[in-house]
Amino acid sequence: MDRAESLAEQLGLPIADRRLLAQALTHSSWLHEHPGEAAGHNERLEYLGDAVINLAVSEALYARHPDDDEGILSARRAAIVSAPGLAALATRLDLGAFLALGEGEAARIGPRRPSILASAFEALAGALLLDIGWERTRDWLLATAAPELDAGLAPMLLKSPKSRLQEATQRTTGGRPAYRVLEAVGPDHDKIFRVEVAVGDEVLGMGIGPSRRVAETAAAAEAVEVLLARAAEADAAAAEAGG
């Protein structure tokens, strides 16, 4: 049984076009190594799926969280449709096991790389839209993302680490976080970035990732933890002094 057939069986959806599903599972690195052996890679389907997922998630959040304002709804949506959020949904489906990747990409933990998983999930949504239509695709998406859609998370936890850090530093010092790339090593297609974030002259966090954005987010997350720890220490000291 081939990849598309196996995934169709797992999904349990009335998928008719296995070639379209196979394209959704084909990374450009595989097609580069096997030209002419597939209808195409999944980037066009990824473009379509991005719109499908955003609409389905936006509609569901609007209906399920009537007390949330636009900002909180946007934060909820961003947490789901971000690359890490979509990668989590793809992992829930074990989508990485069905992907066709080039040998070089597969050797670099490609099947588990969040950006590849997120793109594949978008491509799958695009393929399903073209095959089984909007309503069935929407219902499948909402069932897959049900825990995230229904989560009663605090608005602060829905914000990105970079947003949380900026708000925290503006409240305490009035300063703005500044990010600096310390190094970017490796070939263009597989660089690793190391970034630090500072407020004023103080470095608060450092992060590493496969892109500058991911590394900055990791650095911000570390900085937020540093500030939270300091605040907890200050509260404890104040309580002890007051007691």
Q: Where are the domains of the chain?
A: 3-153, 161-242
Residues 191, 197, 199: CA angle, nearest 5 degrees? 165
Query: Do 3-153 and 161-242 agree at the fold level?
Result: no
3-state secondary structure of 145: coil
Question: 10 Å Cβ neighbour count for 123?
Answer: 29
Per-residue model confidence (pLDDT) at position 160 = 75
Per-residue model confidence (pLDDT) at position 138 = 97
Its pTM stands at: 0.65
192 DSSP assignment: E
Closest CA to 128 of 119, 120, 137: 137
- The side-by-side arrangement of strands in the sheet containing 192-199 is 178-185, 192-199, 202-209
Active site residues: 50, 122
CA 194, CA 180: separation in Å to the nearest integer? 9
CATH superfamily of 3-153: Ribonuclease III domain (1.10.1520.10)
Tens-binned pLDDT, residue by residue, of the chain (243 aa): 488 888 989 999 999 998 899 889 887 765 565 666 666 678 899 999 999 999 999 999 999 999 887 877 887 888 888 887 888 899 999 998 888 776 655 555 445 567 788 889 999 999 999 999 999 999 999 999 999 998 876 555 567 788 888 888 888 777 899 999 999 988 877 788 999 999 988 999 998 888 888 889 888 888 888 887 777 787 777 777 775
CA 148, CA 79: separation in Å to the nearest integer? 8
Closest CA to 182 of 154, 155, 216, 159: 216
In CATH, what class is 161-242? alpha beta
Question: 10 Å Cβ neighbour count for 184?
Answer: 14
